[in-house]
Amino acid sequence: MTLPTRVKIVDVGPRDGLQNEKQPVPAAVKIELVQRLQSAGLTEIEVTSYVSPKWVPQMADNHEVMSGIQRQPGVRYSVLTPNMKGFEAALADRPDEIVVFGAASEAFSQKNINCSIAESIERFAPVVEAARAKGIYVRGAMSCAVGCPYEGEIAPERVAYLAGLMKGIGVQHVGVADTIGVGTPRKVQAAIEAALQHYELNDVSGHFHDTYGQALANTLAALELGVWQYDTSVAGLGGCPYAKGATGNVATEDVVYMLHGMGIDTGIDLNKLVDAGAYISAQLSRKSGSRVATALLAKCAG
């Protein structure tokens, strides 16, 4: 078994992590969070999304945030664009990458975006085509790749089906997402292997939620397959709306600590990352969702 020697982390905290927050988070705070993340060595940051403010009011300040960040060379700034209207709005803010999302579960697709999986892909096709024509990289998020709140367990064949559809419209990279955090290592490996039927290893990433405390184990399981790219969220930002009281995305600090302990390079300064997580947690008036940050901050206080 050969583990990757280096791992690329995409911090999705500013977008995926903050989008469900009930309290409004000022644009200046989001900009400062992005600044702190890139200062800590993050080179991939999912900044915001271009969705209707009626559905996601937290992201209504997308233009202000994208205009306010101080771009650093070598850092890729991505945004979520669910349709052509969103993509056209995003263009003015010069994203390096756009993200489109589909579900491996028909029920989730219907409940979440009111259409079938195949219909959702049809909607994304012109977005992907327009982005690639302008030289903008396109990443696809495959949600509910292991389990669904409505359908239960998701068969790997469904993941392969979705990956094939995404490949067909020109999506360049896919993330295998355990959206509700029910996955365990073998199931996650099966979902990743399904995606690998259509994508090269270099074009597949993992996105694991920690609802049942399995995210680090699932990350290790993906590493064993050679997957070297992961979405994580600083301070574990991002609740799971389908599991009351559950944590959301796996904390970037926890993944980085594990990787560094395994001798795997990330290019990230863990102490600066912990500080970034402490900053946003203080802004939200709550403790960090990262076990590593909690331990390190307690050690410093002690």
pLDDT digits 0-9 by tens, 76-123: 999 999 899 999 999 999 999 999 999 999 999 998 788 899 999 999
Over residues 171-188, mean pLDDT: 97
pLDDT (0 to 100) of residue 112: 79
Per-residue model confidence (pLDDT) at position 241: 58
Helix/strand/coil (H/E/C) assignment for every residue in 164-188: HHHHHCCCCEEEEEECCCCCCHHHH
126-156 residue pLDDT tens: 999 999 999 999 999 999 999 999 999 999 9
Determine the pLDDT at residue 123.
92
Estimate to the nearest angstrom the gap between the alpha carbon of 300 and the chain centroid.
30
- Specify whether 240 is catalytic: yes
Among the listed residues 115, 144, 148, 240, the single catalytic one is: 240
Strand 147-148 to 152-153 pairing: antiparallel
Beta-strand (E) ranges in 117-274? Answer: 137-143, 147-148, 152-153, 173-178, 204-208, 229-232
pLDDT band with cut points at 50, 70 and 90 for residue 8: very high
How far apart CA 57 and CA 153 sit, in angstroms, is 31
The pTM is what? 0.96
pLDDT at 220 over 80: yes
Question: Is pLDDT at 250 greater than 80 in this prediction?
Answer: yes
Mean pLDDT of the chain: 95
pLDDT at residue 244 in the model = 57
pLDDT at 135: 97
pLDDT above 70 (res 242): no
Q: What stretches of 61-116 show up as alpha helix (H) in DSSP?
A: 62-68, 84-91, 106-113
Residue 222 near residue 255, CB atoms below 8 Å: no
